[in-house]
Structure 1
């Protein structure tokens, strides 16, 4: 998606920077948290994914509050009241031609969104609240901790040091810290940032919650490091008819971790439908990551420290998987899974997971397999997942094992593969397994797949082409004037010759080879 043009709406004497994304029939306004910058946010892969996900089903407006980002600065850093911020939202909606909209209030943007919904119900189609609160004390900080937090902000603003308060799983990621430092500097001055904290510390909109009469969805991460999960639960109890969804994760930032889980909840709430059927068979590449000898690690680190390291590993893994356009899910504290729509991104993600884990002293091993799986909401299940898991458990520390079909479908990607050994069985066949590297050409990969493809008969190539177009056996039989039994025999021969486990993997061969 091309980065949209930044425009300006006039709110009184101030200009408010905003962007319009998407062309859906539903209008949504994203009310930012502490600080924002509508241009720089596109540089972060998780932020971009979140915006594109929402813009896929709605017309989305993002903006910078007055005094922050690309909007007009406030003279003397006299930051605006919640009422003035409501005026800014109305100005942006008017400029974008929105009579009413769904408001998504993120963190500090939540209280203003609640006030807006209660004051202007005719302009609020629905309300979504993420990681937010009705009162700053004690949901964000108790009063005794405020002075220390302000001191840290004054002395560290613009360095990225504050990232630990918002996304602790990424606080050791040098690239993220560097980007966050620039994001801070381009979103507010140090004086404005401290003024924002002081003003936010006075927020308490608890008394108006019963006045909110619009459909409301509340999203909160269970282990949110910035805003207590009890705040989200209290909002759900206080707003009549509110729907509450508690998500996995520790990071407070809504564009880190599994952003798909957030946008899927929003899409279902706003449209009544999730991005895909809740139960469907899809072709996916699955990465399974398993901690090597977790018992030994628990003994080494001690129970409390090991629990902390595991929690941080899970959060960082969600960020890595999301950054590689995958969807994370979990089955235990020692196993992490992600599914992808392409094998190259999956293998690259597996390598990134290993590098991250090694940097934090956690031994991890990965397995990657592609095949059909049952998709339900954000999770996939079935033989494909189990094979990836078996590979991970068979791997050694810092090793990625992939099945032969993954190797063949990543030709020309720059990935390299080493020793071949057979460790798995499927449908009474042994599955060739390879160790993946991260650089250099794929040794004999393209040649191997093309040799296999060349071994197909002309009729088998014709059938394979029709499989790649999504035709069923019955449809292929009708198209080629063959019996369905004959088509089944051709499909079986194709899978055998290409050394593939299912027709979905076979369908990918055509696009891979450009045949």
Structure 2
């Protein structure tokens, strides 16, 4: 099998590099970890063998994520978010004519694949994650994560040695004494990203949190993790498997973080076994439940304004308001569910666009002398004929009710999913939301 040609898919203003090989009965897109380079990868015999094996039972789609390898690079001030990379993945799948695919996320590619599977179940045949995490850094309720101070220390030590292959000690310790492999890995690093970009991308990849996404994934899922992973504690893999309904968990021997170290054949064999069970049983998952960002808007002081204007003038003003809102919804790809009095209920497949849309609506209706409040939450919703339901809708409504005039108030879930964006957040503390269990940490989004 010849090395496949590199092609490019357009995602907004960016070009995303990809390769396609094999002609199997099922599409499989491999979303790499932190860094990659499509052409240099083929120089490593272990990787080349793995790619060809995966392509023997699938149509394999390889990608360089935005900011790495042969895809367009980014500045340190505009690192790609998970939402950006979902858009990029969409663009590649559209370019190759893949309506549904198996997502295979390695390491830092795992959270992206998990989010995609929850958001677009109609385009996801199955999910495979290897050596990954739902949250990388330690938290009070997640004590096996990396200590933030130790992680920053690692990043500080990484940058001056970037490109000399020293990272092999962490990602593939079983190959640390293989001079040929270390030399290749050093070249792979240099070609994949600059030192500053490598540090920035790794920091961003470790700051997100998709734990709340896991229960909303209903596609067949395989979770692979090595028992003694030297970089990502095996409890991360166990956590993922425990929280995705029906997920299959396989714990492999070895201490290498990246699959190309250790017994790579065992990794590929598990994937082949898993996908062989799916071939011929390609019934699509129920798509009446999806992950979405829910936005509620509401005009502040509407009753007083209506009384002051009178019914006819108020109705005309609200009609103009609705036109302004719908113009912004079209711009940011929001789906109008319904109007509620003088407000809107809208869903988005990306939280970043939802926040930007709320900001655009706020600015637009101010030209009419109106002020709105907005509330957002990301969670599982149930799609109905002309409506949506589910606790995520209730949470978004309660968040909206707590927002002040002109404020865009969001749940911590939304905040965690837009890590790396230019959106800033002001802590609004913890709140009890009427009819919703527990306390909810809320933030005001600032653009």
The TM-score normalised by the length of structure 2 is 0.60
Q: How does 1:53-452 map to 2 (within 5 A)?
A: 53-76=53-76, 78-138=78-138, 141-272=146-277
Larger radius of gyration, structure 1 or 2? 1
Q: How does 1:480-491 map to 2 (within 5 A)?
A: none
Secondary structure of the structure 1 residue equivalent to 2:85: helix
Deviations 1:210-265 (A, max 9, x none): 01111100001111111111111111110000001111111111122211111111
Equivalents in 2 of 1:267, 1:37: separation in Å? 24
| Aligned equivalent of 2:16 | 16
Secondary structure of the structure 2 residue equivalent to 1:272: helix
When residues 167 and 140 of structure 1 are mapped into structure 2, their CA distance, relative to the original with a 3 A threshold, is farther
Equivalents in 2 of 1:107, 1:252: separation in Å? 8
Equivalents in 2 of 1:202, 1:145: separation in Å? 14
Shift of 1:172: 2.1
| Aligned equivalent of 1:49 | 49
Equivalents in 1 of 2:203, 2:15: separation in Å? 24
Does 60-69 or 191-200 show the bigger shift? 191-200
CA contact (8 A) 1:77 1:192 kept: no
CA contact (8 A) 2:16 2:88 kept: yes
Shift of 1:77: 5.3
Shift of 1:267: 1.0
Equivalents in 2 of 1:107, 1:26: separation in Å? 23
| Aligned equivalent of 1:6 | 6
Equivalents in 1 of 2:112, 2:12: separation in Å? 18
Equivalents in 2 of 1:18, 1:226: separation in Å? 27
CA contact (8 A) 1:77 1:191 kept: no
Equivalents in 2 of 1:141, 1:130: separation in Å? 18
Deviations 1:172-201 (A, max 9, x none): 221111111100000001110110122122
Equivalents in 2 of 1:237, 1:78: separation in Å? 34
Equivalents in 1 of 2:183, 2:41: separation in Å? 14
Equivalents in 2 of 1:162, 1:141: separation in Å? 17
CA contact (8 A) 1:267 1:273 kept: no
Equivalents in 2 of 1:223, 1:182: separation in Å? 27
| Aligned equivalent of 2:396 | none
CA contact (8 A) 2:174 2:261 kept: no
| Aligned equivalent of 1:378 | none
| Aligned equivalent of 2:436 | none
Equivalents in 1 of 2:152, 2:16: separation in Å? 31
Equivalents in 2 of 1:236, 1:67: separation in Å? 29
Equivalents in 2 of 1:204, 1:86: separation in Å? 16
CA contact (8 A) 1:49 1:259 kept: no
| Aligned equivalent of 1:464 | none
Equivalents in 1 of 2:21, 2:249: separation in Å? 27
Equivalents in 2 of 1:208, 1:176: separation in Å? 37
CA contact (8 A) 2:172 2:262 kept: no
Equivalents in 2 of 1:133, 1:5: separation in Å? 32
Q: What residue ranges of structure 1 are gaps of 5+ in the alignment?
A: 275-515
CA contact (8 A) 2:6 2:19 kept: yes
Greater share of residues in helix: 1
Equivalents in 2 of 1:154, 1:202: separation in Å? 18
Q: Which has the higher contact order (CA 8 A, sep 6+)?
A: 2
Deviations 1:263-296 (A, max 9, x none): 111111111299xxxxxxxxxxxxxxxxxxxxxx
Q: What residue ranges of structure 2 are gaps of 5+ in the alignment?
A: 139-143, 280-447
CA contact (8 A) 2:173 2:261 kept: no
Equivalents in 2 of 1:142, 1:53: separation in Å? 37
Secondary structure of the structure 2 residue equivalent to 1:241: coil
Deviations 1:11-37 (A, max 9, x none): 111000000010111001001101000
Deviations 1:137-157 (A, max 9, x none): 135521120121111111111
